[in-house]
Amino acid sequence: MVQIRVEKAKIDQKQTSLLVIGVFEGEQDFSQSKELDPSVLTYIKEALENKDFRGTFGSSMVAYTLGKGPMKKIMLLGLGKRDKFTDEMARICAGKAAHRARDLGTKEFSILQFSNLDEGLVEAMTEGIALALYTFDKYKAQDKDAVRVEEVTILINSDSPRFSMIAERASHVADAVNFARDLGNLPPNDCPPAHLASVALSLAAEYGMKARVIDRYELENMNMGGIVAVGKGSNNPPKLIILEYNGATASDAKPYLLVGKAVTFDTGGISLKPGDKMDEMKFDKCGGCNVLAILRAVASLKLAVNVVGIVPSVENMPSSTAYRPGDIIRMYNGKTVEVLNTDAEGRMILADALAYGISTYSPKAVIDMATLTGAAIIALGANVAALVGNNKQLTDRVRRMAEKAGERVWDLPLYDEFHEQIKSSYADIKNVGGRSGGAITAAAFLSNFVAGTPWVHMDIAGTAWTQDGTYERSYNPKGATGFGIRTLLKLLGEEEKPSTSSSSSSQQGQQQQQQQQ
């Protein structure tokens, strides 16, 4: 991973191969003009005056200093209109700068703060750089001559140590997102449920968490009918993966419960999907990959909260042992489900995991993440995740954190009529409710298994990987995106007491973790 640090330094004192300077559209004044060599400054001003470079959002121009200054090259980076500049735009622009630096064969570069300094700006720039430089090249022949960006310095006009802490924290978060991307991008032949279980066990050993993996026959004995039914069509048996992180200082603190769908490949089962783009169904595990990544980040940041992550993982295959349309399945909480479509498998495995997690851990709140429905993409497109929940306060918190993270979400209503759509003539409920309101009826199904606990469902089917209609963001390379991880880490980080500084909170979490080890 690239190393990103924050430093107070004048640009005429900073030795760097490339200096990135952000320029707002229509502005020609440089606050750093006294620190640039006059000939270099003249060249830049002429480019602006002649409109060779306009500062439009995402544009760039590189000037060579020819030894006149401590930097070898200067990149002007367009920031767009100043009055429209946001942290999300800073994240995208920082990512574009990282891409251009990589294309220039630069191992190290420095970048000036884009606008007025605050924590959000430093966080956004750090995330943009670290996320944009992600590559998934596990299966490609390695180019020995390829140059990777290894070090980036964000130059700021303050020597406050808190900005270094913000950058360090943002780097941990970006590491978690890239970890989830690595898992999400794995092909199904290399990532059956057993592989995700192995990853969870490794995380537990590395970060001092508790882990448990429940296998098929134990799942049967525990009456996890949904997980067993979906998984039994594959030669790769299902797993229920559990990770526990205990960082809260209070011994009786209730945990947050995170549940992530991990269908390592989804053919649709007997209700077979069309062949077109079926290869993308390796991304049906992204919700579960995100949950594993969030637990990794929570542990590495040593947050003073308790978090339980549960990942039901299956491979949904057609075979002589696969579950069928017309089957009636008894779930963990005793409710029966009539199966009308075996491609509505995600809600089946999530339902068992939700019911088990709530009855076992009595959480303060539950959030599930799942690539659950194509209907969510039809409703909101490929850039907005659907939120459905039973607790307005929790839903509002998730939405606020998503806005800060630059991850767009939108609430969908869970009216009583949607519960009517999933009533079955032969069982308690059925696993599909028809074409109308499909994203909401899927959530209505899940609501039968949360027992009144505050709960939010995030349908990330449109946002979990780059697909048709995905808005191009510099920090989201092709493939799995890790969408939602930064949002939920903000929410969990908010749990730390307002009167406690981030550093002391981290120390408390570390002490608690060490006691458990």
Q: Which residue has the tokens 């349309």?
A: 325
Please check whether residue 240 is in contact with residue 219, taking contact to mean a CB–CB distance below 8 angstroms.
yes
Residue type, 48: L
Query: Within 10 A of 251 (CB to CB), how many other CB atoms are there?
Result: 7
SS3 318: coil
| Nearest to 195, CA basis, from 352, 353, 277, 203 | 203
Residue that terminates a domain, selected from 159, 189, 214: 159
Same domain, 150 and 78: yes
Question: Do 120 and 233 have their domain in common?
Answer: no
Token pair, residue 20, equals 């990135």
Query: Is there a domain that residue 477 lies in?
Result: no
Q: Any idea what the CATH number is for the domain that residue 10 is in?
A: 3.40.220.10
Residues 428 and 506 reside in one and the same domain: yes
Whether 153 and 183 map to the same domain: the answer is no
| Domain extent for 500 | 179-466+482-516
Q: Do residues 184 and 142 both lie within one domain?
A: no
Annotated binding site for Mn(2+): 261, 266, 284, 343, 345
Q: What is the pLDDT along the chain (517 residues), one digit of tens a residue?
A: 899 999 998 888 889 999 999 999 988 766 666 678 888 888 888 888 888 899 999 999 999 988 888 999 999 999 999 999 999 999 999 999 999 999 999 999 999 999 999 999 999 999 999 999 999 999 999 887 788 999 999 999 998 899 999 999 999 999 999 999 999 999 999 999 999 999 999 999 999 999 999 999 999 999 999 999 999 999 999 999 999 999 999 989 999 999 999 999 999 999 999 999 999 999 999 999 999 999 999 999 999 999 999 999 999 999 999 999 999 999 999 999 999 999 999 999 999 999 999 999 999 999 999 999 999 999 999 999 999 999 999 999 999 999 999 999 999 999 999 999 999 999 999 999 999 999 999 999 999 999 999 999 999 999 999 999 999 999 999 999 999 999 999 999 997 644 333 443 444 444 444 433 3
Domain termination residue (choose one: 124, 159, 194): 159
First CA to last CA distance, the chain: 28
Within a domain: 170: no
Q: Is residue 164 assigned to a domain?
A: no
- Is 473 within a domain? no
Give yes or no: residues 184 and 137 share one domain.
no
Secondary structure element (H or E) that encloses residue 17, with its range: strand 16-24
Looking at the structure, do residues 201 and 144 belong to the same domain, yes or no? no
Q: What is the Cα–Cα distance from 512 to 515, expressed in whole angstroms?
A: 5
Collapse the DSSP code of 268 into the 3-class scheme (helix H, G, I; strand E, B; otherwise coil) and give the result. Answer: coil
Q: Are 92 and 103 in contact, with CB atoms under 8 Å apart?
A: no
Predicted confidence at residue 504, as pLDDT, reads 39
- Indicate if 295 and 401 belong to the same structural domain: yes
- From 158, 163, 160, select the one nearest 124 (Cα to Cα): 163
Cβ neighbors of 417 (< 8 A, separation 6 or more) are: none
- Residue 351 domain flag: yes
Does some domain include residue 166? no
Distances (CA, A) of 472 to 124, 242, 377, 383, 481: 17, 34, 17, 10, 12
Whether residue 203 sits in one domain with residue 72: no
Q: CA of 503: how far to CAs of 154, 156, 162, 293, in Å? A: 21, 21, 9, 22
Residue that finishes a domain, picked among 98, 128, 159: 159
**In a shared domain, residues 189 and 96:** no
Identify whether residues 495 and 461 lie together within a single domain.
yes
Asked if 281 and 267 count as a contact pair (C-beta separation under 8 A), the reply is yes
Q: What b/e sequence results for 179-200 when a residue is b if at least 16 CB atoms lie within 10 Å of its CB, and e otherwise?
A: bbbbbbbbebeebbbbbbbebb
**Residue 289 falls within a domain, yes or no?**
yes
Contact of 133 with 103, CB cutoff 8 Å: no
Paired strand residues for 10: none
- Length of the chain (residues): 517
Q: Looking at the annotation, which residues are catalytic? A: 273, 347
Query: How many Å apart are CA 450 and CA 249, to the nearest integer?
Result: 27
Task: Mention every residue, 6+ apart, whose C-beta is less than 8 A from residue 63.
Answer: 40, 43, 44, 47, 73, 74, 75, 76
* CATH number (domain holding residue 257): 3.40.630.10
Count: domains in the chain: 2
Q: Write down the residue that tokens 């330094």 correspond to.
A: 9
User: Does 476 fall in a domain?
Assistant: no
**242 and 152: one domain?**
no
